[in-house]
Amino acid sequence: MQKLNTQAEWMMRAQAVLPAGGFGNFDPGIIIAKGQGSRVWDEDGNEYVDYLIGSGPMLLGHGHPEVMEAVLEQLPKGMTFFANNTKGIELAEAICEAVPCCEQVRFVASGGEADMYAIRLARAYTGRDKILKFEGGYHGMSAEAQMSLAPAKQVNFPQAVPDSAGIPQDVADQMVIAPFNDLEAVATLMSETPDIAAIIVEPLQRIIPATPGFLQGLRDLCDRHGVLLIFDEIVTGFRLAYGGAQEKYGVVPDICTLGKIIGGGFPLAALGASAEIMRHFDKDAIGDDKWLMQLGTLSGNPVAAAAGLKTMEVLRRAGTYDTLRAHGATLQKMQSDALGHAGIAHRICGDETLFDLYFTDAACRDYRTAKHADPQMNTRYNTSLRRHGVFKSPGKLYPSLALTDQDFELTKNAVEAAVLALTDGGSARPD
């Protein structure tokens, strides 16, 4: 029996009601029908090993039975309340126990919202306005975050370049842009700009690792200048380690933001800091003038909190992160071996828990150096991977704990076919 709605038909329907035919997140040319474990299926029934995993949240894989059980237990008790609930309180306790900088947290619905409030909190606490961020650093969709995220042209630091229409010039005037992994440049900018409230940084910037000593150097500079350090751990939290980048690198920020994994696949994020800094969310404690108003219809949603709690419980089990890192190392090696054997210049960039490759022989240290010598090679490589059953972003690969030996074998075959596509154009999907 012919399927009533093919993927092509769904794309036509999307074009009529969605700008550019999509949600703005990912390639609108694929419509995902379902996910289970390490796999997803599109509306035409094509099956893929999933290395996108919802852009990070599904670290345990899709439909993990224990997470599903926790969600199904909560659903008949209530889906949302706009009020305190026990699951949200328990999740806050678990986060504060796990994350070094967090004595208290506030919940929001998305990582971008958490980053926006973190910036506002730093300004409220310090009484200063300017924020230092790094070129290429991603911190959501706020006006501040959309400064020099992906500038098409190079300008002199610390000038901010808006990446979106609709942002007033005075927002750019409050942003100080620095090159990632250049501690000397940061030190100079901080000396020349006395009214900086905070530095916001991804400890792993997209997939670019911080060089040894860089994060500690930021910590030291912030302490010297009375500036707050914000770690955007939306991606790295509970991925690089159970305590996130703070645990892995041994550097504790003043404020951090968390998302993706703590919601177990549901919309939930948080920001956390010391009780002293978080007092700005308590009007009775801080007073009208210094109070930071924050609320959200779905903040602390009990279903999301239940999913997050169970996900975190699974992650605490012995050997979990060893397994995740082993999966990542396997995926890195199979690609590097295949590309190296073919004589194709490349760099694996990132951490075993989150990485990708650049088609270049240059070191990847910051936004301006982490790029492909020939971007078309990356397009051809990723197109071939998808044709051979591998689903991933063109710029990131997220390993998950759900991966199996069969997944690695399929991926290895897909990688070999993609390398062949780069060398002689062969890219046909096998039967």
CATH code (residue 228): 3.40.640.10
CA atoms within 13 A on the CB side of 55: 14
**Spans of the chain below 70 pLDDT:** 1-4, 425-431
Whether 136 and 249 share a structural domain = yes
Last residue of a domain, one of 283, 315, 347: 315
Decide if 26 is inside a domain. no
Decide if 10 is inside a domain. no
Decide if 429 is inside a domain. no
Is position 260 annotated as part of the catalytic site? yes
Residues 221, 227, 228, 231, Cα dihedral to 10°? -40
Candidates 364, 369, 395, 400; CA nearest to 381 is: 395
Candidates 55, 111, 349, 99; CA nearest to 248 is: 99
Distance (Å, whole) CA 292 – CA 159: 28
Whether 153 and 249 share a structural domain = yes
Of the residues 87, 260, 310, 392, only one is catalytic, namely 260
Is position 125 annotated as part of the catalytic site? no
Decide if 9 is inside a domain. no
pTM of the model: 0.96
Whether 113 and 164 share a structural domain = yes
Last residue of a domain, one of 315, 349, 378: 315
pLDDT of residue 3: 59
Distance (Å, whole) CA 109 – CA 51: 24
CA–CA distances in Å: residue 383 to residues 8, 9, 22, 29, 393 = 18, 21, 19, 12, 10
Last residue of a domain, one of 297, 315, 333: 315
CA gyration radius, the chain: 22
pLDDT of residue 424: 79
Is position 50 annotated as part of the catalytic site? no
- The structural domain count of the chain equals 2
Whether 260 and 337 share a structural domain = no
| Residues across the chain | 431
326: containing domain:
31-63+320-424
CA–CA distances in Å: residue 203 to residues 97, 260, 354, 355 = 20, 16, 12, 14
Of the residues 48, 125, 138, 249, only one is catalytic, namely 138
**Crossing angle of the two packed helices 405-424 and 320-341, in degrees rounded to 10:** 20
Residues 8, 13, 17, 23, Cα dihedral to 10°? -40
Element (H, E) at 175: strand 175-178
Q: Are 176 and 206 in contact (CB under 8 A)?
A: no
Distance (Å, whole) CA 319 – CA 329: 15
Whether 308 and 335 share a structural domain = no
- Which parts of 234-311 are beta strand (E)? 255-258, 269-273
Q: Are 92 and 262 in contact (CB under 8 A)?
A: no
pLDDT tens-digit profile of 313-342? Answer: 999 999 999 999 999 999 999 999 999 999
Adjacent-strand bridge partners of 78: none
Whether 167 and 301 share a structural domain = yes
Question: Structure tokens of 412?
Answer: 């290895």
Distance (Å, whole) CA 84 – CA 276: 22
Question: Structure tokens of 381?
Answer: 């490589």
Q: Are 304 and 259 in contact (CB under 8 A)?
A: no
pLDDT of residue 426: 47
pLDDT of residue 2: 55
Candidates 71, 44, 10; CA nearest to 307 is: 71
Exposed/middle/buried for residue 188 (C-beta within 10 Å: 0-12, 13-18, 19+): middle
Whether 245 and 378 share a structural domain = no
Candidates 234, 248, 253, 215; CA nearest to 325 is: 248
Whether 52 and 42 share a structural domain = yes
Of the residues 182, 232, 254, 351, only one is catalytic, namely 232
Decide if 23 is inside a domain. no
pLDDT tens-digit profile of 359-377? Answer: 999 999 999 999 999 999 9
